[in-house]
Amino acid sequence: MVLASRNYAEPQPSRVFREEAGGGGGRRQEAFIVSKPISTKTHGAIDYLSVPLLVAAPRLFGWSPAVTRYLTVAAAGTLAYSLLTRYEFGAKPVLPMGTHLALDGVNGALTLAAPWLLGETSGAARAALMGMGAFELGASLLTDPEPRAMPVDPTSNPAEEALPSPS
């Protein structure tokens, strides 16, 4: 059994050079910036999968009306700005990915603080809110705001495709 495979361009760390201050004769010091592991495509899938979870969880587990309202509003907001984001899953892509990630960060921080803001006393609801908030905050910090390269067809030769066809 042969499995087909796709070649993806791996994200490479960026190379940054900075001039060393002082009398070092203009020496350059090299530093690497590590790329973020979550792609915009994966982030988009997480966004759309989280919406039904945020709506269903408080209803399935019988959490308080305040938590239910909060998570429903959070789900609606996530859906709205996901549909408007310039990424693979955006329906009307007008919102930059950086803005989307900032909104995710704020949403994650608010969800982390929600048990105290809402006065939630249920241990299960508190733990779930803190877990959801931490997950969203982490996803916002670990998502690369730039889309990654599309799959490369290993049988194609881009140089040949650029040449005009013989008539």
Helices (H), the chain: 40-60, 65-83, 97-117, 123-142, 158-162
pLDDT band of 147, cuts 50, 70, 90? confident
CB 148 within 8 A of CB 9: yes
CB 72 within 8 A of CB 55: yes
Shortest CA distance to 78 belongs to which of 142, 37, 128, 139?
139
- pLDDT the model gives residue 161: 54
pLDDT digits (tens, 9 = 90+) for 8-18: 444 555 545 55
pLDDT digits (tens, 9 = 90+) for 95-115: 999 999 999 999 999 999 999
CB 75 within 8 A of CB 49: no
- pLDDT the model gives residue 3: 44
What is the pTM assigned to this prediction?
A: 0.70
Whole-number Cα distances in Å, 36 to 91, 98, 115, 146: 24, 13, 30, 10
Q: Return phi, psi of residue 35, to 5°.
A: -75, 155
pLDDT digits (tens, 9 = 90+) for 22-77: 555 556 666 656 678 999 999 999 999 999 999 999 999 999 999 999 999 999 99
